[in-house]
Amino acid sequence: MSRDGHFEPGRREMLRLAAGGAGLVALGWSPLDALAQTSLKIGTIGAGREGGALGTAFAKAGHKVMFSSRHPEALKDLVASAGPNASAGTVDQAVAFGDVILLVVPYTAVEQIGRDHGKALAAKRLVMDISNPIPRRDGEDFVKSVDAQGGPGLVTAKWLPGSHVVRGFNAIGSASVGADAKKSIGVPIAGDDQQAVALASSLIKEIGFEPVLVGGLAMGKYLRPGTPLAGEHSPAEIEKIAATLK
């Protein structure tokens, strides 16, 4: 931990971060630069079960969180329970507000969100993509089409061009996200942008989980319900499972 209580990666985490793509030192950038921050502004697109739970956890960890909905007036109870760091707005307002965006919507909404907000999202330090294509909810054909294009992860990056996307929390239920989160639970993450991965790792640590980088966004296809990485695993178990996946 650093002086301000934020996560500083040890050698093991550095190796995990470096495993995801181009070398960290190539541009003279230190991951500690990205992690040396205090309170961030986090906007959520989606404030349902999972977006509400994650936003609340980040607000309680000291970040300013703006939840969004197409009906922000419906978020009063959520804002009240998340405490003084929380507020609610429209999707436009949350996108403008956040340095970091949590994308927590049905996957069928992602393409349109990219059309409406892609330029603004590309300017953010991190878009954490928690959204999943789910056949029962989104339709078999839709999910097949996402998978044919490389799966969620690559498709999110395609629909949000230029955004610094990291997939995470995709198969950890809203009931497990919160003040009682167990330290031993790992969160598999996938991303191509080293700074965004470092920032996502720092944030995940702050709310009591252990980030484990399993690879670039192409590995995002395994970060969803129904895959071997779904559910709750220790970091060591995640590494072991991820080693069997391509």
Ligand X SMILES: NC(=O)c1ccc[n+]([C@@H]2O[C@H](COP(=O)([O-])OP(=O)(O)OC[C@H]3O[C@@H](n4cnc5c(N)ncnc54)[C@H](OP(=O)(O)O)[C@@H]3O)[C@@H](O)[C@H]2O)c1
**Residues making contact with ligand X (CB under 6 A):** 45-51, 69-71, 91, 104-107, 109, 112-113, 130-132, 134, 169-174
Give the nearer residue to ligand X in terms of CB position, either 13 or 210: 210
In a 3-state reduction of DSSP, which class is residue 157?
helix
Give the nearer residue to ligand X in terms of CB position, either 23 or 140: 140
Give the nearer residue to ligand X in terms of CB position, either 132 or 202: 132
Strand order in the sheet with 126-129: 86-89, 64-68, 41-45, 100-103, 126-129, 165-167, 186-191, 210-215
Closest CB 152 distance from ligand X, rounded Å: 9
Give the nearer residue to ligand X in terms of CB position, either 113 or 126: 113
Give the nearer residue to ligand X in terms of CB position, either 13 or 129: 129
Task: Return the H-helix or E-strand segment holding 100.
Answer: strand 100-103
Closest CB 214 distance from ligand X, rounded Å: 16
CB 127 within 8 A of CB 164: yes
Closest CB 79 distance from ligand X, rounded Å: 13
Give the residue at shortest CB distance from ligand X: 48
Closest CB 42 distance from ligand X, rounded Å: 15
Closest CB 136 distance from ligand X, rounded Å: 10
Give the nearer residue to ligand X in terms of CB position, either 21 or 48: 48
Closest CB 2 distance from ligand X, rounded Å: 29
